[in-house]
């Protein structure tokens, strides 16, 4: 292969890296400076930053995905004073993402799609994807935070309400940036 054959690939890769870097910065900034102090009766707290992990392209190798998830969680932990809670929950989120995509993408024939967005994958798949992964993330995060079975009912209500709040914000953002795209 000569150099000209690599140019479109390099341009696409550098664009993907820049888009995801900007997405990371914006989402962490929003979480830390805007959403950190938003809670409803200490039951529902949005963790919108997980959208970064959810929207990473399908081609991201699993080891890189786990590293990115861990770094994302560590950045949030640094601002929330929760040593390792978000990092652990993000790694679990990455694991569930790998399992979910390996099960659904091959079955549904989405092999040629670049990333799991609302406009590319469709509402039903995207909603299921976001809901399941958000529930796993929040369940793991909030149970690690409490680390007790004595308040399991309160913790489960926090998991459900925080997940609904987060999924709502993710769907709103997905609809704001929705581009109608014909699937092949």
Eight-state DSSP code of residue 33? I
Please state, in angstroms and as integers, the Cα–Cα distance from residue 23 to each residue in 36, 54, 59, 116, following that order. 18, 11, 17, 14
Phi, psi of 96 (to 5 degrees): -65, -35
pLDDT value of residue 120: 80
Q: Which of 159, 175, 60, 184 has the alpha carbon at shortest distance from 118?
A: 175
CA-CA distance, 128 to 180, in Å (whole number)? 19
**Per-residue burial over 1-37, b = 16 or more CB atoms within 10 Å of its CB, e = otherwise:** eeeeeeeeeeeeeeebeeebeeebeebbebbbeebee
Domains of the chain, by residue range, sit at 3-176
Eight-state DSSP code of residue 114? S
pLDDT-based confidence at residue 17 (cuts at 50, 70, 90): confident
pLDDT-based confidence at residue 182 (cuts at 50, 70, 90): very low
Is residue 5 pLDDT above 60, yes or no? no
Identify whether the C-beta of residue 109 lies closer than 8 Å to the C-beta of residue 169: no
Phi, psi of 175 (to 5 degrees): -70, -35
pLDDT value of residue 152: 86
Query: Which of 6-15, 37-46, 110-119 has the least mean pLDDT?
Result: 6-15
Question: What's the whole-number average pLDDT of the chain?
Answer: 85
The pTM is what? 0.85
Token readout for 19 is: 């888009």
């Amino acid at each position: 292969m000569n150099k000209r054959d690599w140019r479109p690939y390099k341009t696409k890769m550098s664009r993907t890296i820049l888009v995801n870097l900007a997405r990371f910065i914006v989402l962490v900034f929003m979480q830390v400076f805007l959403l950190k102090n938003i809670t409803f009766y200490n039951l529902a707290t949005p963790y919108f930053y997980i959208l970064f992990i959810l929207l990473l392209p399908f081609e991201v190798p699993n080891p890189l995905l786990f590293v990115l998830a861990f770094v994302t969680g560590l950045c949030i932990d640094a601002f929330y004073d929760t040593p390792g809670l978000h990092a652990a929950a993000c790694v679990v989120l990455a694991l569930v993402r790998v399992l979910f995509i390996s099960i659904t993408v091959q079955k549904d024939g989405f092999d040629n799609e670049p990333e799991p967005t609302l406009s590319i994958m469709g509402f039903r798949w995207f909603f299921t994807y976001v809901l399941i992964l958000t529930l796993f993330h929040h369940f793991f995060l909030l149970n690690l935070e409490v680390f007790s079975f004595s308040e399991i009912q309160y913790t489960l209500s926090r998991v459900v309400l925080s997940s609904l709040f987060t999924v709502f914000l993710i769907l709103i953002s997905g609809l704001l940036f929705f581009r109608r795209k014909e699937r092949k």
